[in-house]
Structure 1
Amino acid sequence: MSLSHREGQSPADDITDDWLFLSSDSARPEVVEVRREDQETEDRGKLRSKLVSAWNSVKYGWTLKQKSKFSKSSPVIMLGKSYELKDEGEREHFRRTFVSLLWLTYRRGFPPLGGCSLTTDSGWGCVLRTGQMLLAQGLLLHLMPPGWTWSVSHHVFKDDMDLESRPADCGQTFQKGSNKRGRKLSLGSLLDRPTETTHRKVVSWLADHPSAPFGIHQLVELGKSSGKKAGDWYGPSIVAHILQKAVAAFADLQNLAVYVAQDCTIYKDNVKRLCERPPPQSWKSVIILVPVRLGGQELNPAYVNCVQKLLTLKCCIGIIGGKPKHSLFFVGFQDNNLLYLDPHYCQPTVDITKKNFPLESFHCKYPRKMAVSRMDPSCTIGFYANGQKDFESLCTAVGEALSTSAETYPMFIFAEGHSQEEEQSHAPTNLTYIQRKTKCKRVDTSNSLDEFVLL
């Protein structure tokens, strides 16, 4: 997303300007036969979509072959688990676990979004995509057995990381030795496994099709109530509320709820009211989303340690950053670098209506890192609790992690009681608040478009 984007003008308009030198006559070969006007319009739309997608892939610097270097001397922490890369078995476990994360990126060629002719989200849908990844991690924890990894990935993906070590070890791949483990299962038998069926179902829920409950079409439709439309930039706070609505509207997930923190506060009674079910049924599982702003234009250094602490918790399902130029899905760290998944790679749309549609493009084989100091302060943090006891444990663990920023102010807080407005009737806005004892200070957030007020 270009930093020159102006409020009130959609990113799609900016992108189109980049291609004004490509007229319809110069972009397409001359034809002698007369074609129908609607066919010509469709062809121009497809061509423009491909050109815009290609331009954005270059503009945002996404390189398919790019790899990050990882050190063997320190562990990698990812979503509550620690991996010692000097141990070959743990390297393989980390590789399989990372590849099993669902990766949602820009797509092109999907059915037109409601109310417009856009068939790609390239250049404007990055926060929606990271929001999908955050939700996907919660769905996998909710529906899959503990420790699940994608079995097919073991046979599909090869070398995916560079390890910093002595020369003799350079170039060692994560799958070395792993192919020695017994007889390989056939692809057909893997597809027949119940867990693989569920995995495929979750992917289909997030696909780029109007029928997908958490797909780009449904998220854009739900965003209209917040004043957003296809082509607009969606902030992490708005996306949190959109995800809450999407899950609430989906009949197949009656035992899962999404709670969005208000004013950087998780009200326990609100969560209880949302998750309680009449006897003999137990609590619903809950995904908790906390929109926060951790500084002005840059991440406040006082929160760096706290961000890392949260990613060490098993209840944490990741953090989405909201920078307009690029939103990322943070899942772990090594030393002072964050591990992330990047949505800024435009891929062709996968037809989920076909039986055994390919899954490879929904999984990333290249872990990437960036300095934690470069993380944008506008973000949404996600957590998952399987029931009431898990929620109580979550409150304790997260509270302890938040105390690491006690020298400043907590990123967010837990509060007994409930908010002034009912959870179900709370209307999402572009305002997120952080409690402060100092004077009210408005922060310039022109780079992230979401308006945050620091109190």
Structure 2
Amino acid sequence: MCTIDLVWDPVKAPDIRFLSSQFHEQQPRHEKAVNSPSFEPTAVLLLIPMMFGKGTRINPRYIPVVLRLFSDPAFVGLIGGRRKHSSYYVGCQNNSLIYLDPHFTQPTQKLNSPKFSVDSWYCPIPKTMNASNLNSSCAVGFYCRTRGELSDLIDRLPTLMSVSNNLQASTRSRPVAFTVEVLGLDKSKNRPS
């Protein structure tokens, strides 16, 4: 398994480090088979747990980062929300996040019934929440169909996750950082290592 450590400092230039020392020596046999050139996985859903601040609410400086994520073609949404109530955020408009509430239930509809209504498939008024009310702890999701799309996403993540460089050093907190583990992705060749 190859570990990719992604660290973004809001003041310094983005830095991506590939930590794959002794990758081939420590790799189990089944992983070598998965990483062979003949094996091409069809897709990957990447869920990344994040903390956008220290408290229970999102740090306001990270709101532009969250809103920018929705413009990425690989982004599939954000899981998080308010304290003791998690939702699935699928879009945004201005500073409002559009979400689906998995806790909302309704009776089962019979498809072959003459009284079946397609109204049960959607809500006429989308649920929204101001981004400033988002809990600081959440998970962001990305869907990549190929290794090439995954490689492109890894290239875009520093820009997507960067906080404005106009911040003063006194207001700067720790950089947004997380680790992504990818099975044998050789970044330089865009193929299994």
TM interval, shorter chain, is 0.5 to 0.7
Partner of 1:110: none
Alignment pair present for 1:316 and 2:43: no
Partner of 1:305: 64
Partner of 1:411: 176
Alignment pair present for 1:281 and 2:46: no
Distance in 1, Cα, partners of 2:44 & 2:149: 10
Q: CA shift at 1:318, angstroms?
A: 0.2
Secondary structure class of the residue paired with 2:45: strand
Partner of 1:290: 48
Alignment pair present for 1:399 and 2:158: yes
% same residue = 32
Q: CA shift at 1:359, angstroms?
A: 6.8
Secondary structure class of the residue paired with 1:313: coil
Distance in 1, Cα, partners of 2:67 & 2:81: 18
The structure with higher relative contact order (CA 8 Å, sep 6+) is 2
Deviations 1:253-279 (A, max 9, x none): xxxxxxxx99x9x98869xx6994544
Task: Check whether the contact 1:277–1:283 (CA below 8 A) recurs between aligned residues.
Answer: no
Counting helix residues as a fraction of each chain, which structure ranks higher?
Answer: 1
Q: CA shift at 1:284, angstroms?
A: 3.6
Letter in 2 for 1:367: P
Q: TM-score scaled to structure 1, two decimals?
A: 0.29
User: Which runs of 5 or more structure 2 residues have no equivalent in the other structure?
Assistant: 8-15, 24-30, 166-171, 184-193
Q: CA shift at 1:417, angstroms?
A: 8.7
Structure 1 415/324 Cα, relative in aligned 2: closer, same or farther at 3 Å?
closer
Alignment pair present for 1:390 and 2:152: no
Give runs of aligned pairs for residues 327-346 of structure 1, distance below 5 A. Answer: 327-346=86-105
Match among 133, 152, 157 for residue 374 of structure 1: 133
Partner of 1:86: none
Q: CA shift at 1:400, angstroms?
A: 0.9
Distance in 1, Cα, partners of 2:119 & 2:36: 41
User: Which runs of 5 or more structure 1 residues have no equivalent in the other structure?
Assistant: 1-260, 419-455
Task: Check whether the contact 1:294–1:300 (CA below 8 A) recurs between aligned residues.
Answer: yes
Q: CA shift at 1:314, angstroms?
A: 0.7
Distance in 2, Cα, partners of 1:279 & 1:342: 42
Deviations 1:215-270 (A, max 9, x none): xxxxxxxxxxxxxxxxxxxxxxxxxxxxxxxxxxxxxxxxxxxxxx99x9x98869
Q: TM-score scaled to structure 2, two decimals?
A: 0.62
Equivalenced residues, count? 153
Secondary structure class of the residue paired with 1:404: coil
CA RMSD of aligned residues (A): 4.0
Task: Check whether the contact 1:306–1:405 (CA below 8 A) recurs between aligned residues.
Answer: no
State which structure, 1 or 2, has the greater radius of gyration over its C-alpha atoms: 1
Give runs of aligned pairs for residues 176-325 of structure 1, distance below 5 A. Answer: 276-295=34-53, 296-325=55-84
Distance in 1, Cα, partners of 2:33 & 2:137: 28
Partner of 2:191: none
Distance in 2, Cα, partners of 1:385 & 1:331: 17
Give runs of aligned pairs for residues 402-441 of structure 1, distance below 5 A. Answer: 402-404=161-163, 407-414=172-179
